Amino acid sequence: MFSKLQLYSLAFLFFVVTPSFGQQEVINRATLGISDYRAKFKDLTAEEEQTVEEYDDKGKLKKQRRIASDLFIYQSQLDPTQMVEYRDVRSVDGKEIKKRDARLLSLLNKSARADSVKKELDRINREGARYDLHYSTSGMTLNQGLLLSENLRAFFKFELAGREQINGHDAIVLEYQQTSANPDIDLKLNSLPSALKGAGTRYRGRLWLDAETARIRREVRETMIEHPSLTTPLLLMRYEFDYADSRFGFLTPQRIVISTFNNGRTGADKKPELLLGGKVTYTYGAFTRFNVDTPDATVTPPPQP
């Protein structure tokens, strides 16, 4: 029989040991879900609404553009393991884009004749981003849970932070903080003021993992600028990812927001500050699979609206 003191000691041991074991189990399950997402997130299409906003140095909205597209997850015809987002733009600020089908088929034919994967995918990227103003992004739907990748996890500290409700679903909250530099994800900072020369970047954020499956339902990821002269890091980029249930057995993107804080100024305390310069918001309808004819890898686009 255990004495009361022994029982209290066992209870304390259980309390201390269980969270660390549970955390690693959560991370492992989340990583498996991310691998499954990346394996299955291909040959997909969805209606996409994109809003691009540009702000002046006083925080006032100076320009906005609304872009409606059919998003395709395009697999390289030279290397099917390489994928990229292609946006078949339907309208810009409500104005319909003409001759979409002919433009898409011409693009695919040119891509098929590319002599390298890089040239092929660069052409796809350029075509889909031609209306994006000064804040153009790509690949945000493809790289779910990027900082949980096996080659990056050792550079981060992870910590369970309780549970929350996300769109009616119970979610486990996992916080992360980059602890050391990694050239694969460090950003090259150009045009910094002299006071911040030599600054580096670090990532931090939160993942909301479905309590049953450990799949990502939401992520907020921030890129921070660190410099010896700063008492607190400066926010440079914020990424917000929201995922929803789909017919494919995994969660697909519902909304993605990328905010860029690149308007610099000196604050009242004579310290450098960064204000919002641009924001890009993507919202998605339900994802479906599109048809690919394997002999010549031609895509059957959705019908014109």
Mind listing the pLDDT tens digit for each residue in 186-214? 888 877 777 788 889 999 999 999 999 99
* Cβ 229 vs Cβ 196: under 8 Å: yes
Residue with tokens 């030279």: 78
Q: What pLDDT does residue 77 have? A: 86
Alpha-carbon span 182 to 121, nearest angstrom? 26
Q: What pLDDT does residue 9 have? A: 42
Mean pLDDT of 6-15: 40
Q: Which two tokens stand for residue 37?
A: 């997402």
* Between 160 and 271, residue with greater pLDDT: 160
- Specify the 3-state DSSP secondary structure of 155: helix
* Cβ 280 vs Cβ 51: under 8 Å: yes
266 bridge partner residues: 272
**Which string of b and e fits 273-304 if b means at least 16 CB within 10 Å?**
ebebbbbbbbbbeebeebeeeeeeeebebeee
Q: How far is CA 207 from CA 145, 211, 220, 237, 242, in A?
A: 8, 12, 7, 16, 10
- E runs forming strands in the chain: 44-55, 61-75, 83-92, 95-96, 156-166, 169-178, 200-210, 216-226, 234-244, 252-260, 263-266, 272-275, 278-284, 288-289, 292-293, 298-299
34 φ, ψ to 5°?
Answer: -65, -40
Place 291 in a pLDDT band, splitting at 50, 70 and 90.
low
